[in-house]
Structure 1
Amino acid sequence: MTRQMTGAKMVVQALKDQGVDTVFGYPGGAVLPIYDEIFQQNEIQHVLVRHEQGAVHAAEGYARSTGKVGVALVTSGPGATNAVTGLTDALMDSIPIVVLSGQVPTFMIGSDAFQEADTVGITRPCTKHNWLVKDTADLSSKIHQAFHVASAGRPGPVLVDIPKDVQFASAEYTPKPKAPVGYYQPQVKGDMETITALVEAIENAERPVFYTGGGVINSGPAASQLLRELVEATGIPITSTLMGLGAYPASGKNWLGMLGMHGLYEANMAMHGCDLMINIGARFDDRITGRIDAFSPKSKKAHIDIDPSSINKVIKTDYPIVGDVAHVLEDMLKVWKARGRKVNREALSKWWRQVDEWRAVECLTYKNSETVIKPQYALQRLEALTKGMDRYITTEVGQHQMWAAQFLGFEDPNRWMTSGGLGTMGYGFPASIGVQMAHPDALVVNVAGEASWLMNMQEMGTAVQFNLPVKQFILNNERLGMVRQWQQLLHGERYSQSWSEALPDFVKLAEAFGAKGIICKDPADLDDALMEMIEHDGPVIFDCLVEKHENCFPMIPSGEPHNKMLLGDAQATNAIAGKGAVLV
């Protein structure tokens, strides 16, 4: 039976067939036919954001907290160009989203029509793939393909650009295919010969370490479970990138913490001193590697990644394995068990003794205060008061982001949403909205800096309109904290444009939007204020006034290897006492 329908109706039907229940968007002339169809149905909820960048970040938050594809809907011209930052953010962090954009009618394309932009051309470098659909008969199949491409292989953003006349015209609807689309079938099974060689290397390694990334989380819950089984069975230390937090539990005995520029001392030292590094689902980005020629200089290197272009792109590897993390880990465990579950126990015990010496540095030590709230203390109290709750954390970008990664513990995947590769200020607030839409009964906290938060502050209107109880926990130091830190340490204390001198009253701002505002500046009042935020049943802006010139340590300066870290005064004292390698 043929199903004739308009292009606009096809869009909505295709979303339903793909299991979409939430769309984040902002209407405009070029997408009004689609919005008219959204109005006439109740299965898909549309969340009206206040800016298209917010729509895409909200879709990212939804996707990252659920493992499903997030969806955003924007109009032509400025609607599409406003989505570019979110698309690039999703591409860098491998987040599956589909953005549907309106376009001027096909007969007007190229005429500089009102709100016309070359959306496909503009977004080609910041999507996995994009389409300009000029024939309504192709529209539904292209949308189904978009969902497949977004979620298959290394996940990422895709865009479908839909001219207005294509939305009005009618054609036969193509249902969602029962089998995956044939033309895009990424390799998911790793090469067994290389996997076996890697297992043999694990058996003989004296100083091995697992280096894990967001690819473990993107692979799905099975990958995290298999990773935990492998770590527990072998007894090998494990660290993670910013994007991989939660794949292995923070409470796990083999956990070294995050590595990289602001990673933990023991994690970075282990990466520098290991003899076998097993990269699982990470991409050797520069925040992790530091100076390439001095990165983990004594190790054999394995790299497991579903994206063939990531292998040997930055770091040459001895055991390159292209495949889906879950499939490869499953095969690794089978081979390792079949070969007798062997590791070099004596050498591994010695390695752990070295790791424990590095742990003894206690690199997150800081000098607390009874008169001013230290940002580290604020996050320690947030962790203590919310531990065990059904909690999701998003962040903006800067010092607060790094402190959140250091001081908040994640026991499960998909609980930590942050902008890693692109470092997008303004990401966290709309992302928290997307997370809260997906998990209406959960506690969703956006850890923010006042400067980052102001970039998408207009989304308070969205939070209030949809009664989303998102908590905006702003660590307010009245500075562009990370910029100021770099200027202090690397630019002769010349603080060029890094002090904010015209900040709003965040409590009054919250109240102006119809939300709750809380301010706290005394450490003695912090717990009560945090509980007030947590227990409030609506959106909250918490203005937490913190030490203005606190620096985020450890820190690997640009151009230095992992074993040359800047530490704070208290940390450096510990490191020197423990004879750790440290640049003070």
Structure 2
Amino acid sequence: MPKPPYVYQSIAKATREHGVEIMFGLMGDANLFMVDSFVRDCGGRFVPAAHEGSSVLMALSYTHVSGKVGVATVTHGPALTNCMTALTEAARGHVPLVVLAGDTPVENPRHLQGIDQRELAKATGAGFEQLRTPATVGKDVARAFYRAQVERRPIVLNMPADFMLQEGNDDMQVLNVFTAPGGVAQGDILDEAIGMIASARQPLILAGAGAIGARAQLIRLADRLEAPLATTLKAKGLFKDHPYNIDIFGTLSTPAAYDLIARADCIVCFGTALHDFTTDRGKLMQDKRIIQIDVEPEAIGGGLHPDAALIADAGMTAETILYWLDEAEVPASGFTRELDVASLTTHPAPNQKTSEGFVNFVHALTRLEEALPEDRILVADGGRFMTEVWCRISAPDPQSFVSTVNFGAIGLGLQEAIGAGLAAPDRPVVLFSGDGGFMMGGINEFNTAVRLGLDLIVIVANDSAYGAEHIQFIDRKMDPSLTEFNWPSFAGIAKSLGGDGIEVHSEAELETAIEALKTRKGPFLIELRLDPNDVPRMRI
């Protein structure tokens, strides 16, 4: 009779049974045997991070780009507390992933590294599952994956260390989950919504992250209405190349697009919770009919109260509206006939002059937009520089755009770039980071990208300051020196960590760096040296 597997083997096998090919993490006492079994017994791949929080961020972006449930693993105590910002980022972004978190032995409640994992997970917005007994491993792992998918958030699965070397079993379970709920809109509210749309003279369709799968249906509706199309930041690139795409809606719009939105009399919103930055704190929604369609009830009415709200699937609702517009022979609005799309999507360039020894940021972004690989995955860290990157650097589609600002943090970009690169190994990843964010979270994982041999291009916007704070001191005519830093050479650091890098102080050096991209071999860093007094202001 074969010997029963150990619990650590059962956890590894149950994880692999859920289709997991890559596990991100950092090993410690409570998870090292499980990781070893995942690789040696199950044929999985383990990607070791330099910091526990990085492993969760890698799993987060892996999920976003691949569409699969990402998995990270950490050990107990400070390993899990190191993940709090990353877990919050994932929870705020509604990202389904599973964190296999080791825990201190149940038999030792006074263990030095003991912590209440349930309360910690709860504080971040993540869910929590307990590995109950050695005999329930398969069920408990399945429950964690099930909840991650239906709740659309990270689930922390607690794994007591003293269970690992006990006997488990081969009772594996996979709960097949349909994760795209949402019915067809119907009833009086639908009738009211269609009436508002039919009577609109200047309608506009806005799509958020919850409508990414409904691109074709929304385009058909927009074409029928002759209505312009716009997206939230999270859905950036959804309507790329459509003739009436006005790009990002809200504070990130071009001045011409902002004026166009202000003129619209009806905004049909699919899959967006209407964040304050999307609506410019409500200003863009004044004196308009607002129709909001979302499968998530909590998305409705969070920022403002719509005139009609439908808890329904975006694509099916768009098709239903289109059907009844045709049945009633409602004429097209004609709104798009007067549009100058070029002016609506071209952001004006501010002063192109800059001080000696620095490169102009907007000029650099314009050249990089032209020169970077077209099939890129775009990742943007948080910071003062980010809004110009969002506006001036394009992404092929929303799944190829990773923003790291669900929690308003900086220093998460390089970690998420690594996860994105492993989700799409045949495509280049382009990361834009600020100097503060790179010092905070980039340096410790740049070598991870080198070890993995990723095709990663990192552009560091280095104004030698924490820029958002710097400008506040300047605006108040105060001394900004407390915000300024004499950083080391980031290009030099990239080389010392096994990659390559070039410092850019002028337009000529920028062209040299762009030319060098053509022969890159592995992670490559371009350090843009910027004047802290000459970086465009944030647009949010």
TM-score by length of 2: 0.91
Match of 1:397 in 2: 382
Say which of 237, 244, 249 aligns to 1:254: 244
Structure 2: how far apart are the matches of 1:43 and 1:336? Answer: 54
Report if the CA contact (8 A) 2:395-2:401 is conserved: yes
Q: Which amino acid aligns with 1:148?
A: Y
In 1: Cα distance, 2:507 partner to 2:55 partner:
36
Residue 495 (1) aligns with residue 480 (2) = yes
State the shift of 1:509 in Å: 1.0
Q: Which of 467-476 and 22-31 deviates more?
A: 467-476
Deviation at 1:112, TM superposition (A): 3.1
Query: Does residue 462 of structure 2 align to residue 476 of structure 1?
Result: yes
Letter in 1 for 2:127: H
Alignment correspondent of 2:275: 285
Q: Is residue 202–residue 343 contact of structure 1 (8 Å, CA) maintained in 2? A: no
SS of the equivalent of 1:266 reads: helix
Partner of residue 426, structure 1: 411
In the alignment, what sits opposite 1:234?
225
Q: Give 1:196 deviation, angstroms.
A: 4.5
Q: In 2 relative to 1, CA 338–15 (structure 1 residues): closer, same or farther, beyond 3 Å? A: farther
For 2:452 and 2:372, how far apart are their aligned partners in 1? 24
Q: Distance in 1 between matches of 2:163 and 2:50?
A: 26
Contact 2:92–2:125, Cα closer than 8 Å, also in 1:
no
Write the distance in 1 (CA, Å) between the matches of 2:229 and 2:314. 16
| Partner secondary structure for residue 71 of structure 2 | strand
C-alpha contact (below 8 Å) 1:84/1:126 kept by paired residues: yes
What is the match of residue 317 of structure 1? 306
Give the match for residue 154 of structure 2: 157
Match of 2:209 among 214, 230, 237: 214
2:177 maps to: 180
Equivalent residue for 1:382, pick from 363, 368, 372: 368
Shift of 1:407: 0.4
Where does the alignment leave 5 or more consecutive residues of structure 1 unmatched? Answer: 557-584
1:178–1:82 CA distance, 2 compared to 1 (3 A):
closer
Residues 100, 162 of structure 1: 8 Å contact kept: yes
Amino acid at match of 2:26: Y
Residues 188/496 of structure 1: CA separation in 2 closer, same or farther (3 Å cut): farther
Contact 1:450-1:475 at 8 Å conserved across structures: yes
Distance 1:145 1:196, change over 3 A: farther
Q: Which residue of the partner structure matches residue 503 of structure 2?
A: 519
Contact 2:254–2:345 (CA under 8 A) maintained in structure 1: no
Which of the residues 333, 337, 340 maps onto 1:345?
333
2:539 pairs with 1:555: yes
- Distance in 2 between the 1:206 and 1:299 partners? 11
Deviations 1:398-423 (A, max 9, x none): 23221111101233221110123312
Identity level (%): 22
Bigger shift: 473-482 or 142-151? 142-151
Shift of 1:85: 0.7
Question: Aligned-pair distance for 1:541?
Answer: 2.0
Q: CA deviation at 1:256?
A: 1.7
Contact 2:203 2:225 in 1 (8 A): no
Letter in 2 for 1:529: A
Tell me the distance in 1 between the aligned counterparts of 2:528 and 2:521: 19
Aligned CA distance change for structure 1 residues 547 and 112 (closer, same or farther; 3 Å):
same
1:536 aligned to which of 494, 501, 520: 520
2:297 corresponding residue in structure 1: 308
Contact 1:256 1:266 in 2 (8 A): no
How many angstroms apart in 1 are the aligned matches of 2:324 and 2:538? 38
Structure 2 match to 1:126:
124
- Aligned partner letter, 1:517: G
Contact persistence 1:216–1:280 (CA under 8 A): yes
> Residue 356 of structure 1: CA displacement?
4.4
What is the TM-score when the length of structure 1 is the normalising length?
A: 0.85
Say yes or no: does 1:11 pair with 2:11: yes
Say whether 1:191 aligns with 2:185. yes
Say which SS state the counterpart of residue 116 (structure 1) adopts. coil
User: How many Å apart are 1:73 and its aligned residue?
Assistant: 0.6
Q: Does 1:411 align with 2:409?
A: no
Determine the structure 2 residue equivalent to 1:579: none
Conservation of the 8 A alpha-carbon contact between 2:246 and 2:344? no
Q: Which residue of 1 is the match for residue 146 of structure 2?
A: 148
* Mapped pair 1:167 → 2:161: no
Shift of 1:338: 4.6
Q: CA deviation at 1:132?
A: 2.1
For residues 233 and 345 of structure 2, the distance between their equivalents in structure 1, rounded to whole angstroms, comes to 21
Moved more, 70-79 or 123-132: 123-132
> Counterparts of 1:246 and 1:309 in 2: how far apart (Å)?
25
Residues 166-219 of structure 1: per-residue CA shift (max 9 Å, x gap): 3333344443446438xxx885114322444433322221122222222223xx
Gaps of 5+ in 2: none
Q: Are the equivalent residues in 2 in contact too, given 1:190–1:321 (CA < 8 A)?
A: no
Q: Deviations over 1:324-367 (max 9, x none)?
A: 43443344444444544x34434x25xx64x6499479643222
Distance 1:279 1:191 in 2: 14
User: Match of 2:52?
Assistant: 52
**Aligned counterparts of 1:487 and 1:523: Cα–Cα separation in 2:** 29
Mapped to 2, the partners of 1:536 and 1:555 lie a distance apart of 33
**Distance in 1 between the 2:313 and 2:131 partners?**
31
Distance in 1, Cα, partners of 2:346 & 2:420? 33
Conserved 8 A contact 1:213-1:281: yes
Measured after TM superposition, the shift of residue 151 of structure 1 is 2.5
Size of the aligned set, in residue pairs, is 536
Contact 1:248/1:411, CA 8 A, preserved across alignment:
no
User: Superposition RMSD on alpha carbons, in Å?
Assistant: 2.8
| 1:297 paired residue number | 286
Q: Could you say which residue in structure 2 is the equivalent of 1:578?
A: none
- Could you tell me how far apart the structure 2 residues matched to 1:144 and 1:329 are? 35
Distance 1:486 1:282, change over 3 A: farther
Specify the SS of the correspondent of 2:206.
strand
Which digits, 9 at most, give the CA deviation of each residue in 1:439-474, with x for residues without a partner?
222111111111111111110221122222311111
Distance 1:156 1:53 in 2: 16
**Residue identity opposite 2:242 in structure 1:** G
Matches within 5 A, 1:436-447: 436-447=421-432
- Secondary structure in 1 matching 2:459: strand
Match of 2:84 in 1: 84
Structure 1 residues 511-569: Cα deviation after superposition (integer angstroms, max 9, x where no partner): 2211112112111232331231353121122212133323435736xxxxxxxxxxxxx
Provide the rounded CA distance (Å) in 1 between the counterparts of 2:314 and 2:9.
38
What secondary structure, in the 3-state scheme, does the structure 2 residue paired with 1:102 have?
strand
Q: Which amino acid aligns with 2:79?
A: G
The SS at the match of 2:448 is helix
Give the whole-Å Cα distance in 2 for the aligned partners of 1:117 and 1:344: 61
Contact kept in structure 1, 2:379 and 2:417, CA below 8 Å: yes
Q: Distance in 2 between matches of 1:310 and 1:2?
A: 52
Cα 1:470–1:357 change in 2 (3 A) is: closer
Which has the higher mean CA deviation after the structures are superposed, 412-421 or 271-280?
A: 271-280
Cα deviation, residue 4, structure 1: 5.1
| Structure 1 contact 471–540 (Cα < 8 Å) conserved | yes
Secondary structure of 1:535's match? coil
Q: Secondary structure at the match of 1:5?
A: coil
